[in-house]
Amino acid sequence: MGEEDHCSLCHHGEAVYMRRYSGERLCRRCFIKTFERRVARTISEYGMFRYDDRIAVAVSGGKDSLSLMDLLARIESLHPYSELAAITVDEGISEYRDEAVEIARTEARGRGVEHVVVSFKDQFGYTLDDMVAVLKERSFEAYPCTICGVLRRRSLNQAARELGADVIATAHTLDDVVQTYILNIMRGDLAKPWSGRAVKQFVPRVTPFRLSPEEEVAFYAYLKGVYLQTQACRYAPTSSRNLVRLFLNGFEAKHPGALFTALRSMEKMVLPEKRPTSTTCRICGEPSSREVCRACEILGAVSGEAGTTRSHEKPSAD
Ligand SMILES: [Zn+2]
Ligand SMILES: [Zn+2]
């Protein structure tokens, strides 16, 4: 084995991963070790958890969220006063979500993590597929990813509250977080997400993978033998997020490390924090800065109660 095939950290393992932004070539062991250390550092740098938190991890069944559940389950086992539960939102996207829900269930059980599944169908009376079809007929202007994002946020918040969770951990990666900042700029909505604790009925969210590039999360999932889903969401290619993703991927390929720089620059910007509102929607009673929240507006349009109301909202960042 030539010099180049060796790990640049331990100097004896066979290099299996090249970190382009740092020039490091890493063996399997060193990759896993440095990846996990960075996640632990992220959690402490941002003060994501308290020692006695009941943490709800959002598990879609994709590789990112399964890796996060795996990592949090191990971290949590070292903290006797904290608890971990997993929530899967079943939006009702045929084939894609059916497969993911099963995977999430199996993986949670295997780690002894309490797992709840909440479905759009049970909560709202319709699957996402049904809603997309109905809204298309009524020419209500909303993208599937917008509808899904608004309702998923609602489902997750409600389920976390019912579980008595103090905080929701989501598997958004460095790539996702930078994409969201850029989408927010494009939408003219440049407030920072709320980083404080619960306000009324709102359960705060944290992102332990925010300093971990998507590619590394994927490689970690692969090394850990996390189940990889075969089906892709059929709505994803139509999202505005996808346009931003393509641009950022191209930029990162040309300038390795650009995503880190972007995140750090964005974090340095002095922005108002989007404090969760203390007012509630008059229909559902969930936190909302508007009289009728966006979830109720969408559901009203689906059930026909809102008549020909059109959504003037811009695409959601999620
Ligand atoms: Zn090594
Ligand atoms: Zn509402």
How far, in Å, is the centroid of ligand 1 from the Cα of 1? Answer: 14
Q: Round the average pLDDT of the chain to a whole number and report it.
A: 86
> What is the whole-number distance in angstroms between the Cα of residue 307 and the centre of ligand 1?
62
Ligand nearest to the CA of 24: 1
CA of 290 relative to ligand 2 center, distance in Å:
9
Phi/psi of residue 96, nearest 5 degrees: -55, -55
DSSP sequence for 39-99 = HHHHHHHTT---TT-EEEEE--SSHHHHHHHHHHHHHHTT-TT-EEEEEEEE---TTHHHH
CB 93 within 8 A of CB 129: yes
Distance between Cα 119 and ligand 2 center (Å): 17
How far is ligand 1, taken at its centre, from the CA of residue 7, in Å?
Answer: 5
How many separate helices (H) and strands (E) can be counted in the chain?
11, 7
Ligand nearest to the CA of 10: 1
Q: Which residue has the tokens 């359960």?
A: 203
The Å distance, Cα 220 to ligand 1 centre, comes to 15
Output the pLDDT for position 315. 41
Which ligand is located closest to the Cα atom of residue 33?
A: 1
Between CA 288 and CA 162 the distance in angstroms is 18
Mean pLDDT, rounded, for 100-118:
93
- Residues in the chain, total: 318
What's the CA-to-centroid distance between 70 and ligand 2, angstroms?
34
- C-alpha–C-alpha distance, residues 223 and 245, integer Å: 24
pLDDT at position 310: 43
106-121 average pLDDT score: 94
CB 101 within 8 A of CB 72: no
Q: How confident is the model at residue 2 (pLDDT cuts 50, 70, 90)?
A: low
Instruction: Say if CB 177 and CB 207 are below 8 A apart.
Output: yes
Structure token pair of residue 64: 């990112």
Report d(CA 40, CA 79) in Å as an integer.
13
Instruction: Classify the phi-psi angles of 197: left when phi > 0, otherwise alpha if psi is within -120 to 50, otherwise beta.
Output: beta
| Cα–Cα nearest to 143, from 63, 243, 65 | 243
Each residue's pLDDT tens digit, 134-168? 888 887 777 788 888 889 999 999 999 999 999 99
Whole-angstrom distance, CA of residue 287 vs CA of residue 290: 9
| 16 Cα to the center of ligand 1, angstroms | 9
Three-class SS of residue 190?
A: coil
162: closest CA among 66, 56, 299?
56
Question: Left if phi > 0, otherwise alpha if psi is -120 to 50, otherwise beta: which for 225?
Answer: left
Kindly list the distances between the CA atom of residue 48 and the CA atoms of 115, 193, 266, in Å, as whole numbers in the listed order.
Answer: 21, 13, 19
Average pLDDT for 254-273? 88
Does residue 121 have a pLDDT over 70?
Answer: yes
Output the CA 28–ligand 1 centroid distance in Å.
Answer: 7
Binned at pLDDT 50, 70 and 90, residue 80 comes out as: confident
The percentage of residues in the chain with a pLDDT greater than 90, rounded to a whole number, is 53
Whether pLDDT at 205 is above 60? yes
**Which tokens go with 260?**
């880190």
From the CA of 189, how far away is ligand 2's center (Å)? 21
Task: Give the pair of three-digit tokens for residue 203.
Answer: 């359960």
Q: What mean pLDDT is predicted for residues 239-264? A: 93
Task: Determine the distance separating the centroid of ligand 1 and the alpha carbon of 25, expressed in angstroms.
Answer: 8
Distance 151 CA to ligand 2 centre (A): 10
pLDDT, mean of residues 5-22: 94
Q: Read off the pLDDT of each residue in 110-121 and give the average, rounded to a whole number.
A: 94
> Out of 2-16, 19-33, 138-152, which region has the weakest mean confidence (pLDDT)?
138-152
Q: How far is the CA of 305 from the centre of ligand 2 (A)?
A: 14
AA identity, residue 232: A
Lowest mean pLDDT among 77-86, 99-108, 149-158, 297-306: 297-306
Q: Please report, rounded to a whole number, the percentage of residues in the chain having pLDDT higher than 70.
A: 89
pLDDT of 240:
84
Question: What is the 275 CA–ligand 1 centroid distance (Å)?
Answer: 44
Residues 6 or more apart in contact with residue 185 via CB below 8 angstroms:
none
265-316 confidence digits (pLDDT tens): 988 887 776 666 667 889 988 888 888 988 999 899 888 875 444 444 444 4
Nearest ligand, CA of residue 7? 1
Phi, psi of 124 (to 5 degrees): -115, -10
The per-residue pLDDT for 200 is 66
Least confident interval from 91-105, 133-147, 228-242, 287-301 = 228-242
Is the pLDDT score of 175 beyond 50? Answer: yes
Average pLDDT over residues 65-87: 93
Q: 232: pLDDT confidence band, cut at 50, 70 and 90?
A: confident
Could you tell me the distance, in angstroms and rounded to a whole number, from the CA of residue 245 to the centre of ligand 1?
A: 31
> From ligand 2's centre to the CA of 54, what distance in Å?
26
On whether the CB atoms of residues 206 and 169 are closer than 8 A, the answer is yes
